[in-house]
């Protein structure tokens, strides 16, 4: 039985720069950092003598359930990885979508900070999110992120049962 999503993860080239981006630019909360250099980690990732730096981040104010975080960032110190050139259309490419309440303000602030966007916010004109806005952008390593401002009726959250 599936119980939930533990986290989403990106491999990064510079953990400190990526933490700063996700925390300071996007508003994630840093939950925990650690280095992993042990037999368990080497067995898990399939690299002898693996040495990783890991950061765990959460969306502030969201309920925590099985996991204490939503996003994990991993930097391989050994073996060092290589940057892959992928496009969002390529099989195996992924993106993380983030909900915001003012996409135009966030787009302007992130653009002014030098964040690469695929386009300005686009009006959603069909489907379940009609009336909202969305755009794609990249993190410091080129991982694709999406900002979504759902229509007002999708932004309301039900109260406690």
Q: Smallest Cα–Cα separation from 25: which of 161, 145, 149, 152?
A: 145
| β 8-11/71-78 pair status | parallel
Q: What is the spatial distance between Cα 42 and Cα 112, in angstroms, rounded to a whole number?
A: 41
Both structure tokens of 70? 């939503």
**CB under 8 Å to 32, separation ≥6 — which residues?**
55, 56, 68, 69
The pTM (predicted TM-score) of the whole model is 0.90
Tens of pLDDT along the chain (161 residues) come to 888 888 999 999 999 999 999 999 999 999 999 999 999 999 999 999 999 999 999 999 988 888 889 999 999 999 999 988 888 999 988 999 999 999 999 999 999 999 999 999 999 999 999 999 999 999 999 999 999 999 988 876 554 54
Regarding the domain with residue range 8-78, which homologous superfamily does it belong to in the CATH classification?
2,3-Dihydroxybiphenyl 1,2-Dioxygenase, domain 1 (3.10.180.10)
Q: What is the spatial distance between Cα 34 and Cα 53, in angstroms, rounded to a whole number?
A: 6
The pLDDT value recorded for residue 9 is 96
Length of the chain: 161
The pLDDT value recorded for residue 157 is 59
Intrachain domains 8-78 and 95-155 with the same fold? yes
95-155 maps to CATH 3.30.70.360: no
Q: What is the spatial distance between Cα 17 and Cα 20, in angstroms, rounded to a whole number?
A: 5
How far is residue 14 CA from its own chain's centroid?
Answer: 15
* Domain residue ranges in the chain: 8-78, 95-155
């Amino acid at each position: 039985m599936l119980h939930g999503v533990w986290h989403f993860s990106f491999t990064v080239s510079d953990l400190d720069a990526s933490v700063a981006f996700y925390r300071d630019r996007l508003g994630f909360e840093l939950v925990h950092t650690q280095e992993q250099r042990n037999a368990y980690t080497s067995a898990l990732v399939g690299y002898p003598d693996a040495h990783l730096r890991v950061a765990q981040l959460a969306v502030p104010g969201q309920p925590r359930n099985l996991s204490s975080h939503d996003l994990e960032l991993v930097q391989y110190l050994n073996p060092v990885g290589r940057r892959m050139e992928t496009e969002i259309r390529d099989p195996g490419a992924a993106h993380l979508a983030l909900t915001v309440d003012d996409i135009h303000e966030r787009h302007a602030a992130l653009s002014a900070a030098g964040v690469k966007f695929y386009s300005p916010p686009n009006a959603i004109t069909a489907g379940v999110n009609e009336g909202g806005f969305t755009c794609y952008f990249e993190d410091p390593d080129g991982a694709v992120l999406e900002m979504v401002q759902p229509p007002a009726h999708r932004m309301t959250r039900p109260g406690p049962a």
